[in-house]
Amino acid sequence: MCGTIHLFIPTATSSLFIFPSAGHQRSAPPSVDSCSAAGDILLQLILTGGTFFLRTWCHRRPCRLSLPSSFQGKILRPSTHSRKKEKHDIIESNREVSCSSSENEDSSSEDEDDFEGAVQVDFVFFDPKPDDFHGVKVLMQTYLDNKEWDLTSFVDLILQQTSVGSVVKIEDDEDESVYGFVSALNLQRYKDCKCMMEVKEFLLSKCQEKEIKENLKSFLGEKAADVGLLISQRVVNLPPQLLPSLYDAIFNEISWATEDEPTQELRKFFCFKYYLLISKIYKLKNADKKKKGSSSSEEAIIYLKPEDEIFHNLSAWSFCFPLRTQQVTTNELKEYRLMGLVMAVKATSVPTFRRQLRSLIDE
């Protein structure tokens, strides 16, 4: 069921980060993503005016796309396709963008004139492949804070699992840069890999709450065959409109793998009952003390990824731990501390997560 959706996104919606062209001063948002090392490869959409077109292509089998009431457009009737791995569900979004001209009075007339035009960026979801190694590794640099561990082998596991997992690229990009990826690794399947052992050791060393630590030990031990380590990393300003399709892709692929993998043993590796996630948040310093009798409007937690708030609310249990990674110092974050966040989410909560994520992005 493959189709094309043409959408008009009102200016007031979405939160894409737009940068002016080389003739203007560029001001980027603070790099507060879970992977600060990705700052050197931020997605930079070079515009000085006109219309921005965003189109996403999802591979393999179809996923449903819910359209918010604020969107206007038409849906072309889909055609039927087989269950092979194919690109599908193309979303074309038009967003009106106005960028001010240079404020420097001495600037050239070229800088002062508005440029009427459009830049189209086609984001494509691909199966992981060995050539993606460097891009994925860069996005994973601070996955376990500043711990020295066998990250190379861990990235190899992600890339070797082609049936479940996607990498996000720009179509026809000669460099084939990786702007994001998502995967899910069975803890039992890779229990003998040194890199997975190091992940488990890291988690156990960071969990200080006795009851939760018992739950964590269970996940890493007797329940490991039922647990998927859900990994999702991306550059700071990847358009959030991609997220519903990206998560639809991974959860659909997991479901299909339980039917399509060639052996019963492989199919069982994707019969997840739980997902374990490692992420990062900004937590208000002395939040517990400030809650008492405080009228401050500051949020106790700032989620670096919008989907993490949904996962956190749906989690069966979770815990935070301080990070040693150098945090971004901005005036807005001076009262916050960068923290690690580990969450355990039941697989039965995934449909709710998908609905809430789409509603959040469509707002």
Residue-wise pLDDT for 220-240, tens only, equals: 999 999 999 999 999 988 999
204-221 residue pLDDT tens: 999 999 999 999 999 999
**Residue boundaries of the structural domains of the chain:** 4-362
Q: In DSSP terms, which residues pair with 72 in a beta bridge?
A: 8
Beta strands 274-284 and 227-234 are: parallel
Position 54 pLDDT exceeds 70: no
Q: Is the separation of the CB atoms in 165 and 156 below 8 Å?
A: no
Q: What is the pTM of this model?
A: 0.71
pLDDT of residue 334: 86
If pLDDT is split at 50, 70 and 90, which confidence band does 266 have?
very high
Neighbour tally for 266: CB within 10 Å: 15
| Per-residue confidence (pLDDT) for residue 331, from 0 to 100 | 83
Q: How confident is the model at residue 107 (pLDDT cuts 50, 70, 90)?
A: very low
CA angle 331, 241, 73 (to 5 degrees): 135
- CA distance linking residue 359 with residue 160, whole number of Å: 33
143-157, 159-173, 204-218, 279-293: lowest mean pLDDT where?
279-293
Residue recorded with tokens 């979303």: 91
- What is the average pLDDT across 283-305? 74
- For residue 6, the SS3 value is strand
* Residue 296 or 141, more confident: 141
